[in-house]
Structure 1
Amino acid sequence: MQYIKLSPHALKIIQSQKFSDTEPGSVVRDFNILLNRAAEKPVPLSKGKRQPVQKWTVLLNEELTIPDHPELKRPLTIHYPSVLCLYLLIRASGLGRIIITGANKLQLITNENMIIQWQQLTPVEQYFSLLDAWLTRGSSDIIGEELDGRDHRPLSCSGVTFLRHSDFLEEPISNIGLEALPISFGSYNIALLNLFGLANVQWQTTNQLEMLQFTSLGVTLLNAFQKSIDLHGLALPAGCKDILYEDDGMLQVVKQWRDDVKQLLHPSNVQLHNSYIIKVSMYAYKCHRTLMVPVNATMEQLATAILASFSFSNQHLHNFSYEDGYGDTCNVVDPRLRSRYVDYTDDTFIKDLPPIPGDQFSLFYDLNNPWKFVIDIIEGIDEKTDTITVTDRKGEAPKEN
């Protein structure tokens, strides 16, 4: 078992820290407010960045421990970093997922299997589950934003260089750093530093920091978790240490520091059906096909069936794109692109996604000038079949060039 070694002083800081709904920060309390709202009623999302709509954001903001007060006449969701960062957490933790409803509307709903797990956790276990979600899976892509760096997660983006030297320190961040951080690190990530009790933050205006200073806990945890690469004497940010990306990696690390951490959130099993009804649409041409697909079919077989149902030749390369349960975009590509990617359609099965009614993903055909097929998972059924069959056709398909 790997172990992240701490100094006696650092270990004492973590072991003596009290964890509750509001300590060391209000992240657990505020997150539960969001979670309860989402459980009561689906959260409406914008189609572009897929963020909570502004009206819903304002209502949730007023319930938070410390609400945001943007100094704008017509603030958008992006101007409420405390709400946006909590939305990032519900996606990155797997506790919430996006579904497509009538008229192509996007909604956030809760994952009931994960909710059951969450409710069995103590406040300290909830805290480290959320910290794990943020540091290892909290990509800005989830909320429709972009950060520069190795990737878009907090400890990998270039903006983290303004927060540390080779290590994180308890000294206040310099004025240059304060000016750059809202854009380079993201206001929502700054809000999470504050909500997790890792840093004390003060805003001068909506987009300008006045002060940011790490707490002892923040310095201890972030220095323990960060991974750097040495480039000619410079310690550049490279994300989290490898163990944290392993299954239950955060649990394996933290339970060696604290006896009260017994379990953290982990992926829940999805109950699979024998077959699935899917609807494949080409919106620009107002046509769609409905297919019944066995759960053991490969993505290659699905691509072949979809293209045949629209009278396409299947002579060009293809690629499936979908979101996993944590909001991360995944690609399953044509096997002719082997060695350039990770997952291929001839050895990835429908059950590997896994398919959940309400989910939507896409097939791109002819990657030089792609045709887009939008695939909706309609329902799972217990009927067994060995082949993919077309059960309904609506609209005339375009002619392949």
Structure 2
Amino acid sequence: MKKIKIFNDPIYGFITVRSPLVFKLIEHPYFQRLRRISQMGLSYLVYPGAHHTRFHHVLGCTYLMQMAVETLRSKQIEISEEEEEALIVAILMHDIGHGPFSHALEHSFLYKIRHEEVSLRFMEALNAEFNGELELAIDIFKGKYHRTFMNQLVSSQLDMDRLDYLKRDSFYSGVAEGNINVERLITMLHVKNDRLVLEYKGIYSAEKFIMARRFMYWQVYLHKTGIVAEKVLVKILERARALTLEGTDLTCSETLKAFLKEDIDRDKFDLGKLDMFSRLDDYDVMSALKLWSNHDDSILSYLCNSVVNRKLPKIEMSNEAFAAEYIEDIKTRAMDKLNVKKEDMEYLVYDGSVENKAYNSEKEAITILYKNGELKDIVEASDSESISALSMTVRKYYLCYPKNLV
């Protein structure tokens, strides 16, 4: 098939797009918006190189999906050209539903709607626009296609999404512990009983993959500075929405203003709202933060300056929940020192928790295939006790408050 487009990727080199449909989707404004959506939110405040976007990530995923299809075909797993194109479309579109700053603001604009559901809405809208050409991709994405392993290539514990974001985020952040051998892992993929499995020869690469997930979550994704930066960003939008509903006219893009005025849930999220959401990106939010950093509302301006000038609040981390008395003491000191109303303290002092489970054996387990055809969960197959330990949920608690209280 004639080459349509070649992208030069710093991770994999040249990525070739051969499908006219895939190329049309990449050129679509819905997809081009991903160039303006950060892959790692505000992690660049911790790791200055982490400025890559969702656009980089999904192109990398398509490259890995092409590699996976070639690998499985070499092992006599029949995958038609139509199925291959649908797999590439499904992985290409899997993150199109992310809002500004990715996970940081996932529920700040749409009420209780996850980005996966928004991605599906985008795919369905594009399917109507492209006369049903995305039908098979949507079935695979939803897990309704009869070949189960295809959905696992898109969404599982060893899918192309995870393989790319670990390697890519490791590269751009400079955290070497997340660098995994994706080529080895994909080469070891196989299909048994219509399920995606990993040949035994790849077990150590899979162990390294699980360990890399643990390192990247605690060292990068859940880094304490990244946590407090994202929480401040959420608080900014909460304050902006509260002021807007009280009648304050905040200067910002019309798109952002529309989302500040209305809580949009599943019932309200129609095609009109979808199109409006497609025009919302990091630029809307960051330009608003710069404007609001000089606003008359002291709380809004304080929060915006925290992000814009990286003057972030203090964050304490603990393996145990913070005592209620300790939190109340900090709130009392904050009210006295900063002359803030009690009802406004939620914007300045707040606590919560984060958790990580590097491997979840109950959700699309990584299955190891032995030469004799036997199948085992990687926890059972591994001779490393650490893999079993990594299937445990680890929770950490945080408390944020202004630094001048220290």
Greater strand share, structure number: 1
TM tier relative to shorter chain: under 0.3
For normalisation by structure 1, the TM-score amounts to 0.25
Greater helix share, structure number: 2
For normalisation by structure 2, the TM-score amounts to 0.25
